[in-house]
Structure 1
Amino acid sequence: MSRIERRALLAGATALPLARPGLLRAQARGPVQIGLLSDMSGPFRDVGGPGNRVAAELAVQDFGGSLLGRPITVRQADGQNRADVSAALAREWIDSLGVDVLADGAASSSGLAIQEVCREKKRIYIITGPATSDMTGAKCSPYGMHFGFDTYALAHGTGTALTRSGGDSWYFITSDYAFGHALERDTMAAVRAAGGKVLGAVRAPLNNADFSSFLIQARASGAKVVGFALAGIDLQNCIKQAAEFGLTRGGARIATLLVQVTDIVALGQKTCEGMVLTDSFYWDLNDATRAWAKRYMARMTTPPGLQHAAMYTGVTHWLKAAREVGGTDADAVAAAMKAMPVNDMYNADVRIREDGRTLHRMYLWQIKPEAEARHPYDYCKLITSIAPEEAWRPLREGGCPLIRG
């Protein structure tokens, strides 16, 4: 997206014009529009950002480039990780531009705001950036389909494994916004359920550069495990400073609760060696993921991460469902998306649950030593596979109002 287009969209978003039926009828005969509200300049740019557009365009290409005789276009704008900006852009795109489906969302606070707009306007929202489990819990929507990770799965994969292996006392350094709060909450629950205890937590502002005071408090706690409920550049800064600070010299282990391949690229494999992470996608998982990653890397300089794979999956599945029902009506497409199995380069007959949660198989990975790498970006070795019924929060424990009985 050009700077001019982005400025025009932001200016239009502040005006929030009413929908123009004549324009929308004309657009119904024009292109099918997929709109990505992303972080294009902040801490989540590398894990989502421009790579999400590449992933969406690969999905469109593989689908054939058109839907029911209409060409498919992908647009993208910077939601700035702000709920107000993201919600305003979502309204502008739907009301004035006739965008058919929204995707991404970046920060969880922005994603929750987008989900409310999509609920009101009856548009499918393909959730890939936001990780809070509230997206399919108390804040669930009939139109929200969560294709990425969520805080419950991340917490129960890494948190449970480390607690059971001896890390039975925890202290948290947590991003002070919706994602961090949810990840801390869900990991605390997993630690306690596994027999561990939580000694305390400290909150760090989003886009923070200096974690020294938080690391001092973590070391002073005496916890065996320090959980980083952080993401993107914030996570990278905290890991770097923890190494400089010597956090682990006193015997503490670091639990990086959300690590993506772009984080490892930025930090270096040597810095990340030994870290444990939970994820459903790894570019080197199998022949199909390697082939898809090669196509992605023809346009990007680093391997794709989970958010990029989730974008490909979500857009592909939405297009298949729209073709199945013969249109883009959100209620019909939502029903089809939940009825049809999800199949692509890393999912086989995966289903979307009633609350919108996509039930991927999850994996527990460990970053291998640099000396063991066989080729570029050969970072991870598999520890264990986690079945969907173990990885994701039970349906009736999430508080989703769509679930009755």
Structure 2
Amino acid sequence: MRHFLLTTAAVGLAATPALADLSDGKVKIGILNDQSGVYADFGGKYSYEAAKMAVEDFGGKVFDAPIEVVTADHQNKADIASNIARQWYDTDQVDSIMELTSSSVGLAVQALSKEKKKITINTGAATTELTGAQCSPYGFHWAYDTHALAVGTGGALVKEGGDSWFFLTADYAFGYSLEENTSNFVKSQGGSVTGAVRHPLASTDFSSFLLQAQSSGAKVIGLANAGMDTQNTIKQAAEFGITQGGQKLAALLFTLAEVHGLGLEAAQGLNLTESFYWNRTPETAEFGKRFKERTGAMPNMVHAGTYSAVTQYLKAIQAAGSDDPDAVSAKLHELPVNDVFAQNGKVAANGRMISDVYLMEVKKPSEVTEDWDYYKVLATIPGDQAYIDPAKSGCPLVK
């Protein structure tokens, strides 16, 4: 795969004039995410490494211009993220911002970038509002969203008889979106929602929330949170004997990083949805091992999605012969996405990159034969089923 990308880049460079319309004589990409909080392993410094890998695999230059990657920690605060983004755009000559874990951050930076006419590619944020009512001609959403998670994990549990749900939800835009999308999907399949409770981001004590969920009598407790919050919820649920009592936990946003952090003893048997798994094909395995060599960890869908987003952005600049945001946006909508993350991916009019997602089950410790090989792939969900029909997304850009 690396050789394929390098060859593709080399062919493109050879076929394109040496002089191109590049502002500031370089391409500068910012990776803005949580590097010290509950989502530090979910994206964090690993997404920064994925972005640097993409640049290296691309050849390090677009035309004859260098490519630079910078990063910062937004601390899961939209105001801090917006201030960093503004400085990057106004002073530091950053052309595009990517990753943007935390939906409140993603929405805030995408809105600022629309005003500044700058490209954002969200790979860490989850809310469907990014490509719904708050979509942008310069905003793109890669890797996953709350609708895909609802269809994957929610759909699997409803089919298994989990037709009554209670939600334990992170109290901000991401949690609301995940709860709403999953609730709507459960109801569309004939299920019911008995209630919900919301908790602050980065909680340490989930006892009162779990007691409410336990007393609801719902067959499934939907965890509409992520990162360390989900890990802590699952650990404390075990102390209350919730699953032993017959209720199921639905980890609606849970990735390889969190499975590793929680450990197989606690995570075994969980169903979850990711759009990438390192051990799914020979190409993903080769990428995963290269990634692990430089980070010590295998990539999840956010890390691999960031690699894909950076690669596609550079391809779009190359195809446009310019880093002008309008020209690059047009090419991002036009070009198919074929890389280690996605095969035959496509970008819809609302900015949603549509590719397949995968329903997983976490293996039992006795089933693991290789380090980090934690998943069984239960089903492939075609992208057109996983993501909202752009015409129904509420995005005003969709004609």
Normalising by the residue count of structure 1, what TM-score does the alignment of the two structures yield? 0.92
Corresponding residue SS for 1:312: helix
Matched residue pairs, number? 378
Distance 1:400 1:130 in 2: 17
Corresponding residue SS for 1:298: helix
Residues 1:117 and 2:101 are matched in the alignment:
no
Distance 1:128 1:232 in 2: 15
Partner of 2:329: 334
Q: Which amino acid aligns with 1:253?
A: K
Q: Deviations over 1:34-72 (max 9, x none)?
A: 111111111101010100111000100011001121111
Q: Deviations over 1:57-89 (max 9, x none)?
A: 010001100112111110001111111111111
Distance 2:171 2:353 in 1: 26
Corresponding residue SS for 2:195: strand
Partner of 2:193: 198
Distance 2:179 2:248 in 1: 17
Q: Deviations over 1:299-333 (max 9, x none)?
A: 11221111000100000000001011111111100
Partner of 1:399: 394
Q: Is the 8 Å Cα contact of residues 277 and 300 (structure 2) preserved in structure 1?
A: yes
Distance 1:219 1:40 in 2: 33
Q: Which amino acid aligns with 1:240?
A: K
Distance 1:200 1:102 in 2: 37
Q: Is the 8 Å Cα contact of residues 68 and 327 (structure 1) preserved in structure 2?
A: no
Residues 1:210 and 2:210 are matched in the alignment:
no
Following superposition of structure 1 onto structure 2, how do residues 6-405 of structure 1 map, counting pairs within 5 Å? 28-404=23-399
Identity %: 46
Distance 1:47 1:221 in 2: 30
Q: Which amino acid aligns with 1:60?
A: V
Deviation at 1:345, TM superposition (A): 1.1
Q: Deviations over 1:238-274 (max 9, x none)?
A: 0110111111122101111011101011111121111
Corresponding residue SS for 2:136: coil
Distance 2:308 2:228 in 1: 25
Q: Is the 8 Å Cα contact of residues 29 and 70 (structure 1) preserved in structure 2?
A: no
Q: Is the 8 Å Cα contact of residues 305 and 341 (structure 2) preserved in structure 1?
A: no
Distance 1:260 1:85 in 2: 26
Q: Is the 8 Å Cα contact of residues 30 and 70 (structure 1) preserved in structure 2?
A: yes
Q: Flag structure 2 segments of 5+ consecutive residues without an equivalent.
A: 1-21
Corresponding residue SS for 2:347: coil
Q: Which amino acid aligns with 1:213?
A: S
Deviation at 1:126, TM superposition (A): 1.1
Distance 1:336 1:281 in 2: 24
Q: Is the 8 Å Cα contact of residues 344 and 355 (structure 2) preserved in structure 1?
A: no
Q: Is the 8 Å Cα contact of residues 131 and 148 (structure 1) preserved in structure 2?
A: no
Corresponding residue SS for 1:90: helix
RMSD across aligned positions (CA): 1.0
Distance 2:357 2:24 in 1: 40
Corresponding residue SS for 2:243: helix
Q: Which amino acid aligns with 2:105?
A: S
Distance 1:403 1:72 in 2: 32
Normalising by the residue count of structure 2, what TM-score does the alignment of the two structures yield? 0.93
Q: Flag structure 1 segments of 5+ consecutive residues without an equivalent.
A: 1-26
Q: Is the 8 Å Cα contact of residues 96 and 118 (structure 2) preserved in structure 1?
A: yes
Q: Which amino acid aligns with 2:253?
A: L
Distance 1:222 1:304 in 2: 37
